[in-house]
Amino acid sequence: MAKKNHKQEDKLEKEEGKRYFINEVFAERKFLLLREFANKKGLIYVDQLNDYIDNLKNIRGIGQKKLNIILEKIKNPELTIKVEPIHLKEIEWETPIERVFRGSYHALLEYCFKTGRTKLKDLKTLTLEEIRSIPWPGNAIYKSFLKKLEKFGINPQESNEPLDLDKHPMGKLTDDVKLNKAYHNAHVSNLREFLQLGREGRLAIKNYGEISENLLRELLKEHGINLEDFENQYFSKLPNRNMDLKPDDILPNMKEFLTQREYFIITNRAIEKKTLESVGSELDLTRERIRQIEKKAVIRTNIYIGPIIQKYAEEIYNTVKQSGGKAKLSNLCKNLKCKPESVNLITYLAGYKDLRTEDDLIFIDLTRTRIWNAPSYDFA
pLDDT, one tens digit per residue, over 141-176 is 888 898 888 888 888 877 778 888 888 888 888 888
Residues 174 and 215: beta-carbon distance below 8 Å: yes
In a domain, 35, yes or no: yes
pLDDT at 378: 36
**Looking at the structure, do residues 266 and 348 belong to the same domain, yes or no?**
yes
**Looking at the structure, do residues 144 and 175 belong to the same domain, yes or no?**
no
In a domain, 10, yes or no: no
**Looking at the structure, do residues 264 and 357 belong to the same domain, yes or no?**
yes
Main-chain dihedrals φ then ψ at residue 181, nearest 5 degrees: -70, -40
The CA distance from 144 to 121, in Å, is: 18
**Which among 285, 245, 240 is positioned nearest to 262, based on CA atoms?**
285
**Looking at the structure, do residues 300 and 357 belong to the same domain, yes or no?**
yes
Residues 153 and 86: beta-carbon distance below 8 Å: yes
**Which among 362, 352, 311 is positioned nearest to 332, based on CA atoms?**
362
Sheet holding 326-328: strands in order across? 326-328, 361-364, 355-358
Residue 302 Cα to chain centre, angstroms? 20
The CA distance from 297 to 351, in Å, is: 13
pLDDT at 242: 63
pLDDT at 280: 92
Q: HEC profile for 183-195? A: HHHCCCCCHHHHH
In a domain, 241, yes or no: no
**Looking at the structure, do residues 190 and 255 belong to the same domain, yes or no?**
no
**Looking at the structure, do residues 280 and 358 belong to the same domain, yes or no?**
yes
CATH code of the domain in which 284 resides = 1.10.10.10
The boundaries of the domain holding residue 141 are 90-151
pLDDT at 321: 86
DSSP, res 20: -
| Domains held by the chain: number | 4
Q: What DSSP letter does each residue of 41-70 carry, written as one string?
A: HT--BGGGGGGGHHHHHT-TT--HHHHHHH
In a domain, 11, yes or no: no
**Looking at the structure, do residues 251 and 331 belong to the same domain, yes or no?**
yes
Residue 204 Cα to chain centre, angstroms? 13
pLDDT at 119: 92
**Looking at the structure, do residues 123 and 220 belong to the same domain, yes or no?**
no
In a domain, 357, yes or no: yes
**Looking at the structure, do residues 47 and 132 belong to the same domain, yes or no?**
no
Q: 192: which residues sit within 8 A by CB, 6+ positions away? A: 165, 166, 230
**Looking at the structure, do residues 295 and 349 belong to the same domain, yes or no?**
yes
One-letter identity of residue 121 = K
pLDDT at 196: 81
Three-state DSSP class for residue 166: coil
The CA distance from 202 to 186, in Å, is: 8
Q: 13: which residues sit within 8 A by CB, 6+ positions away? A: none
pLDDT at 81: 62
Burial (CB count <10 Å: 0-12, 13-18, 19+), residue 172? buried
In a domain, 140, yes or no: yes
Which residues of the chain have a pLDDT value below 70?
1-18, 61, 81-87, 206-207, 231-243, 352-353, 366-380
**Looking at the structure, do residues 108 and 200 belong to the same domain, yes or no?**
no
For 54, what's the count of Cα atoms within 13 Å in the CB-facing half-sphere? 1
**Which among 304, 312, 359 is positioned nearest to 337, based on CA atoms?**
312
pTM over 0.75, yes/no = no
**Looking at the structure, do residues 254 and 313 belong to the same domain, yes or no?**
yes
Give just the sign of the alpha carbon dihedral 269, 275, 279, 282: negative
In a domain, 378, yes or no: no
Angle in degrees, 0-180, between the axes of helices 329-336 and 287-322, rounded to the nearest 10:
80
**Which among 196, 373, 203, 204 is positioned nearest to 297, based on CA atoms?**
204
Could you tell me the CA-to-CA distances from 120 to 107, 108, 134, 140 in Å, in that order?
A: 16, 12, 17, 21
One-letter identity of residue 166 = D
User: Residue 264: how many CB atoms within 10 A of its CB?
Assistant: 16
Based on its alpha-carbon atoms, the radius of gyration of the chain, rounded to whole angstroms, reads 30
**Which among 149, 213, 148, 202 is positioned nearest to 176, based on CA atoms?**
213
In a domain, 47, yes or no: yes
Residues 211 and 190: beta-carbon distance below 8 Å: no
